[in-house]
C-alpha cells in the first residue's frame, strides 16, 4: 500500500439512527477531505451504547439491526473507496450482539461480535466466540470492541492471524464506581490509553482506537481516540474532545522496522504458557 492516512474518530452517538447516520456521513466526508484511507468509527455508532452498565433497562436498549440492514449498506455506500469500521447492535434471531462491521463501497469486508462482556452487558448482549483477521484494501485488519482489548489474547489472536492493523471500536466511559473530578485523572482514562499502547507494542502492529464522547444515561465517555504505532508510540490523538485522530504512515514499513531485531510473534514459547486454553 505504501504511505496511507488512517483515522480514529471520537464522537457522540445516541438512539436516533437518522442523526447517527448524518454524523457518520459528516465524519466520512471530513476524513475523505483529509485523504484518509481507513476510518474507524466508535462502538455503537448506530443506535448508541447502553445507558447503565450495572443494570441496563431492557426497555431502553439500542435498536438491533440485522447484518444486512439498509443502514449498514448505506454506510458502505458512503465509504466508497475508503475502508470504514462501524459499531452497532446486531440482531440474530432472539440474540443480540455488540457488533462491528468493516465496509467499503464494495460491501462488507469483515465482521466482529464482541467476545468479552463486562458485567452489565451480559443482560443485554450475547457474547461472540472468535477473533479473525481479514483482508482489506489498506492491509490485513482485525477488530476489537471495548472490553476485548483488556485481554492480551484478543489482539494477539488477530496478530497471529496476520493482522497488521487492529481497529479498536469503543464506547468506553469514565469509571462507573469511582469517577474522578477531572476526566484526565480518571482511572479509566489511564487504562484506556495503556491498553491501546500495550496491545500495539506487544504485537508490533498498528492500533486505530476510536471512542464515543458525551454522555448516555449515567455514563460519560472518554473520547481519547488515537492511532498507535507498532512500537507503542501514540502518533495522533483527539484527547477528550470530538474529532479525528489522523496519522500518515507506511504500515508495512513501520511493522518491519519494529520487528527488525525483536519479533515478538516468532519468539513466543507457547509450551511454557499456562491457562491459555
Residue 39 has pLDDT above 70, yes or no: yes
- Report the pLDDT value the prediction gives residue 179, as an integer from 0 to 100: 79
pTM: 0.97
Structural domains of the chain sorted by starting position, each given as residue range(s) with its CATH number in brackets:
4-267 (3.60.110.10)
As to burial, measured by CB atoms within 10 angstroms (0-12 exposed, 13-18 middle, 19+ buried), residue 59 is exposed
Cell numbers given for 168: 479498536
How far apart, in whole angstroms, are the C-alpha atoms of residue 171 and residue 188? 12
- Report the pLDDT value the prediction gives residue 48, as an integer from 0 to 100: 97
Region class of 113: left (phi > 0), else alpha (psi between -120 and 50), else beta: beta
- Report the pLDDT value the prediction gives residue 53, as an integer from 0 to 100: 87
Q: What is the mean pLDDT of the chain?
A: 96
- Report the pLDDT value the prediction gives residue 124, as an integer from 0 to 100: 94
- Report the pLDDT value the prediction gives residue 213, as an integer from 0 to 100: 98
How far apart, in whole angstroms, are the C-alpha atoms of residue 30 and residue 238? 15
- Report the pLDDT value the prediction gives residue 276, as an integer from 0 to 100: 67
- Report the pLDDT value the prediction gives residue 91, as an integer from 0 to 100: 97
Sign of CA dihedral 70, 107, 100, 211: negative
Residue 259 has pLDDT above 90, yes or no: yes
- Report the pLDDT value the prediction gives residue 252, as an integer from 0 to 100: 97
- Beta 83-92 vs 95-104: how paired, if at all? antiparallel
C-beta of residue 15 within 8 angstroms of C-beta of residue 215: no
Average pLDDT over residues 146-158: 98
Average pLDDT over residues 41-58: 93
Residue 72 has pLDDT above 80, yes or no: yes
Residue 22 has pLDDT above 90, yes or no: yes
Amino acid at each position: 500500500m505504501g504511505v496511507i492516512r488512517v483515522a480514529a474518530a471520537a464522537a457522540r452517538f445516541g438512539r436516533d439512527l437518522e442523526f447517527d447516520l448524518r454524523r457518520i456521513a459528516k465524519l466520512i466526508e471530513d476524513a475523505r477531505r483529509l485523504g484518509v484511507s481507513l476510518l474507524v468509527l466508535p462502538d455503537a455508532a448506530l443506535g448508541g451504547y447502553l445507558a447503565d452498565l450495572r443494570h441496563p433497562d431492557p426497555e431502553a436498549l439500542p435498536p438491533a439491526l440485522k447484518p444486512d440492514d439498509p443502514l449498514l449498506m448505506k454506510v458502505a455506500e458512503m465509504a466508497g473507496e475508503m475502508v470504514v469500521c462501524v459499531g452497532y447492535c446486531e440482531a440474530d434471531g432472539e440474540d443480540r450482539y455488540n457488533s462491528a462491521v468493516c465496509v467499503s463501497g464494495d460491501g462488507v469486508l469483515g465482521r466482529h461480535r464482541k467476545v468479552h462482556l463486562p458485567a452489565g452487558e451480559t443482560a443485554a448482549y450475547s457474547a461472540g466466540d472468535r477473533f479473525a483477521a481479514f483482508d482489506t484494501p489498506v492491509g490485513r485488519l482485525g477488530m476489537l470492541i471495548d472490553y476485548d482489548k483488556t485481554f492480551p489474547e484478543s489482539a494477539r489472536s488477530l496478530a497471529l492471524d496476520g493482522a497488521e492493523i487492529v481497529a479498536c471500536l469503543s464506547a468506553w466511559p469514565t469509571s462507573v464506581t469511582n469517577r474522578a473530578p477531572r476526566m484526565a485523572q480518571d482511572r479509566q482514562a489511564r487504562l484506556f490509553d495503556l491498553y491501546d499502547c500495550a496491545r500495539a507494542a506487544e504485537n508490533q502492529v498498528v492500533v486505530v482506537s476510536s471512542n464515543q464522547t458525551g454522555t448516555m444515561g449515567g455514563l460519560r465517555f472518554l473520547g481519547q481516540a488515537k492511532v498507535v504505532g507498532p512500537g507503542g508510540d501514540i502518533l495522533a490523538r483527539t484527547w477528550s474532545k470530538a474529532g479525528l485522530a489522523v496519522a500518515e504512515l507506511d504500515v508495512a514499513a513501520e511493522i518491519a522496522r519494529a520487528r527488525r531485531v525483536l519479533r515478538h510473534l516468532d519468539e513466543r514459547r507457547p509450551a511454557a504458557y499456562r491457562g491459555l486454553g
